Structure 1
Amino acid sequence: MTELSFAKSFLTALDNRPVKLSPDHVEDPKTYAARGAYILPKMPKPMSKRKSAAVAPGQERSLTVVVKSLRNPPLDVKLSALTLNTSVLDIKTAVSEDTGIPVEKMKLLHKKKPIADSKVLKDVAGEAETTVEFSVMVMGGASVIKTPPTPAQAEVAQGQSGGEVLETKEFWSDLKGFLLQRIRDEKMAEELADTFQTAWKTKA
Structure 2
Amino acid sequence: MKKRKRLAPGQELSVDVTMKSLRNPPLDITCSGQPVSTSILSLKNAVSEKFGIPTDKIRLLLKKKPCADSKTIRDLVPEGEGEVEFTIMVIGGQAAAAIGQEGGLASRDPGPPSTLGASGGTLLDLEFWSDLKGFLGQRLKDEKGAEMVYDTFKNAWDKKPAMQK
Distance 1:109 1:118, change over 3 A: same
Per the alignment, residue 74 of structure 2 pairs with: 122
Report deviation, 1:99: 1.5
Report deviation, 1:51: 3.6
Q: How does 1:100-139 map to 2 (within 5 A)?
A: 100-139=52-91
Distance 1:104 1:59, change over 3 A: same
Which digits, 9 at most, give the CA deviation of each residue in 1:84-115, with x for residues without a partner?
Answer: 11110000001111122211110111111111
TM-score (norm 2): 0.54
Q: SS state of the match for residue 97, structure 2? A: helix
Comparing both chains, which one has the higher relative contact order based on Cα–Cα distances under 8 Å and sequence gaps of 6 or more? Answer: 2
The percentage of aligned residue pairs carrying the same residue is: 51
1:90 corresponds to which letter in structure 2?
A: S
Would you identify which runs of 4 or more consecutive aligned residues in structure 1 move more than 4 Å? Answer: 144-149
Q: What count of residue pairs does the alignment treat as equivalent?
A: 101
Per the alignment, residue 143 of structure 1 pairs with: 97
TM-score (norm 1): 0.45
Q: SS state of the match for residue 81, structure 1? A: strand
Report deviation, 1:56: 2.9
Asked whether the equivalents of residues 102 and 145 of structure 1 are also in contact (C-alpha less than 8 Å), the reply is no
**For 1:124 and 1:54, how far apart are their aligned partners in 2?**
21
Structure 1 position 55 matched with structure 2 position 7: yes
Asked whether the equivalents of residues 88 and 119 of structure 1 are also in contact (C-alpha less than 8 Å), the reply is yes
Unaligned runs of 5+ in 2: 104-165
Largest Rg, 1 or 2: 1
**For 2:70 and 2:61, how far apart are their aligned partners in 1?**
13
Q: How does 1:34-73 map to 2 (within 5 A)?
A: 49-53=1-5, 55-73=7-25
1:79 corresponds to which letter in structure 2?
A: C
Report deviation, 1:140: 2.9
**For 1:147 and 1:64, how far apart are their aligned partners in 2?**
27
Per the alignment, residue 10 of structure 1 pairs with: none
2:14 corresponds to which letter in structure 1?
A: S
Unaligned runs of 5+ in 1: 1-48, 150-204
The CA RMSD measured in Å over matched residues stands at 2.2
Report deviation, 1:148: 5.2
2:47 corresponds to which letter in structure 1?
A: V
